[in-house]
Amino acid sequence: MNLAQATVGAMYVAFLVVGWLAWRKVKDGTPGDLIVAGRAMPLGIAVLTMTATWVDGGYLLGTAEGVYKSSIASGVQGGLCFGISLILGGIFFARRMRHFEFTTLIDPFEARFGRAWAAVLFLPAMLGEVFWSAALLVAIGSTFGVVLGMSLSTAILLSAAVVVAYTMVGGMWSVAYTDVFQLAIVVIGLAVALPFVLGEAGGLGASWSAYFAARPDHGGLIPPLQAQGSFWTTQTIISWWDVSFMLMLGGIPWNCYFQRVLSCRTPAKAQQHSILAGLLTIALTVPPLLMGVAAFGYAWPPELSARLQENPSETLPMLFEHLTPPLVRIMGLAAIIGAVTSSFSSSILSAGSMLSWNCCKRLLWPRLSFERLKLLLRISLVLLGAAAAVMALRVQSVQALWFFTSDLIFVLLFPQLIFALYDSKANRTGSIAAFSVSLILRLGGGEPLLGMPHFIPYPEMFAWLLPGEPADWYDGGAMLFPFKTLAAATGLLLLPVVSRLTAEWDRPRPLRNPSQSSG
């Protein structure tokens, strides 16, 4: 066993120890201790666990990859937009969700639209978490392969087993405390590695100048307002904003986000922690951004350059492997491991919480005892963790499924959440109509990653409104028309309108905590 492997082993042992220590807070408690930390999480811990959840392996690897192969705006899009989503969530949603003392994201849907329809809305929310978990395992497996030479399957299975073990024991408390530890590893690892990476690439000034000299129109944080050069066309600018709206607004209706909101001690603390975590998430885009710039300016040997061109997702691991000393390389690897494991534990706990609480307890077995619910939650974590690991071993499909489900969460759940929380006249019929039409509009745009052709020709339908020819709005099998935003906007319009038209025979339900009401 070499030093890197010993370090990874020591980290995983440390994760288990921290998770076991957190068990003392929940071993005699209720399911609320496991799911929402007894609503007693301090503000500082809440901020750090939220940040650690969003700063995942895809965040670090994707930022460096996007800057290296495309542009600054492409690289920082995920981190910047997810940070903004946390700020928007704090301003508009966190206080109200915590005020009603909900247990999961699905509770307001049940309160407003009923148990049966809430069970349908639960499906994209849970699948999104599981597919995200699988994508995270692929990220850590790929990193282990570059830096440690470990096989993908071994890395995936080892990581899944360790994270599920400590999450199953201590629930939200274990996740929160290990998140703080893991985020510290991320910050230290990036801070130590960055000077070496920039130094090998000739320094920050030289790297930045080389990037802008080679890509004069690729350097802005956001696209220009008008078409500029061959890179930023009208179509690519609109497509960038379409995806950005999906990330900013679609980043809100995730249960792993609201699990931290609902763990805070007061509604005011819930709001504060979300805004602070958003600012910290945006700030942490800077190190991988600079590393992506350095990777572009570094004079790679021909064989490594060819490898990087073929696999740009390996940008960050290859920087650690070839531009840093051995000890720093290990710390960089530790940063990626910390980022991935913190997010994986959060997503698995989130999915298990919805499955056990909303599907099993609220819908199937309302009289399920707290002791059996805790057991069911732990069994759910094992089963969902195993499912994520199995999907992660099918590398080709995981990323496609994750992005597609993220689309669906934005298109289907964001309108539902707004009106469930804020529209006293919203009813189940309006919810079903908005959900169904938005789903058809989203599927109509196709999904090339899944081999799904489009069946709604948006560019041809809106040719009178769009510049250029309809053919300009297709990029291979992908459509650049902003149909995701259109589908979500349609749901936002339909839900209140249909609810009011059908109010006479589908009476709106009051918003209250369903677990504290007789219905």
Measure Cα distances from 344 to 54, 57, 162, 226, 370 in Å: 10, 10, 11, 39, 26
**pLDDT tens sequence across 11-20:** 888 888 887 7
Q: Please give the backbone phi and psi of residue 88, each rounded to the nearest 5 degrees, phi first.
A: -65, -40
Pick the range with the lowest mean pLDDT from 144-158, 162-176, 355-369: 144-158
Measure Cα distances from 145 to 117, 160, 397, 510 in Å: 43, 16, 19, 53
Q: What is the pLDDT of residue 392?
A: 82
Report the chain's terminal Cα–Cα distance, integer Å: 58
Buried b (16+ CB within 10 A) or exposed e, 194-233: bebbbebbeebeebbebbeeeeeebeeeebeeebeeebbb
Is 90 exceeded by the pLDDT of residue 369?
no
Is 80 exceeded by the pLDDT of residue 224?
yes
Q: Are the C-beta atoms of residues 381 and 349 closer than 8 Å to each other?
A: yes
Q: Hunting for tokens 């994508």 — which residue is that?
A: 135
Q: What percent of the chain has pLDDT over 70?
A: 94
**pLDDT tens sequence across 54-110:** 887 678 888 898 899 889 998 899 899 999 999 999 999 999 999 999 999 999 999
Which residues contact residue 3 at a Cβ distance below 8 angstroms, ignoring those fewer than 6 apart? 326, 327, 330
Q: How sure is the predictor about 48, in pLDDT bands with cuts at 50, 70 and 90?
A: very high
Nearest to 157 by CA among 132, 138, 179: 138
Alpha carbon distance 53, 477 (integer Å) = 32
**pLDDT tens sequence across 249-291:** 999 999 999 999 999 999 999 999 999 999 999 999 999 999 9
Helix axes 326-353, 315-323, angle to 10 degrees: 150
- DSSP letter string, 88-143: HHIIIIIHHHHHTT-SSTTHHHHHHH-HHHHHHHHHHHHHHHHHHHHHHHHHHHHH
Measure Cα distances from 226 to 238, 432, 471, 479 in Å: 10, 38, 20, 20
Q: Are the C-beta atoms of residues 405 and 127 closer than 8 Å to each other?
A: yes
Alpha carbon distance 173, 101 (integer Å) = 18
Q: What is the pLDDT of residue 401?
A: 63
Local structure of 511: helix, strand or coil: coil
Query: Which domains are delineated in the chain?
Result: 3-362+370-516 (1.20.1730.10)
Q: Using CB atoms within 10 A of its CB, is residue 387 exposed (0-12), middle (13-18) or buried (19+)? A: middle
Q: Which two tokens stand for residue 332?
A: 């960089």
Alpha carbon distance 142, 307 (integer Å) = 14
- DSSP letter string, 308-369: HHH-GGGHHHHHHHHHS-HHHHHHHHHHHHHHHHHHHHHHHHHHHHIIIIIIIIIII-TT--
Residue 203 parent element (H or E): none
- Mean pLDDT, the chain, rounded, equals 87
Q: What is the pLDDT of residue 28?
A: 55
Measure Cα distances from 278 to 92, 186, 320, 345 in Å: 14, 17, 27, 20
Mean pLDDT of 189-197: 93
Q: Are the C-beta atoms of residues 328 and 196 closer than 8 Å to each other?
A: yes
Q: Which two tokens stand for residue 189?
A: 């690892």
- Helices and strands: H and E segment counts in the chain: 23, 2
Q: Are the C-beta atoms of residues 431 and 415 closer than 8 Å to each other?
A: no
Alpha carbon distance 182, 56 (integer Å) = 10
Q: Are the C-beta atoms of residues 8 and 159 closer than 8 Å to each other?
A: no
Nearest to 125 by CA among 397, 394, 410: 410
Q: What is the pLDDT of residue 67?
A: 92
Name which residue leads in pLDDT, 453 or 173: 453
Nearest to 194 by CA among 282, 285, 59: 285
Is 70 exceeded by the pLDDT of residue 315?
yes
Q: What is the pLDDT of residue 108?
A: 95
- 93's torsion region: left (phi>0), alpha (psi -120 to 50) or beta? alpha
Q: Which two tokens stand for residue 474?
A: 């297709």
Rg (CA), the chain: 23
Q: Are the C-beta atoms of residues 194 and 287 closer than 8 Å to each other?
A: yes
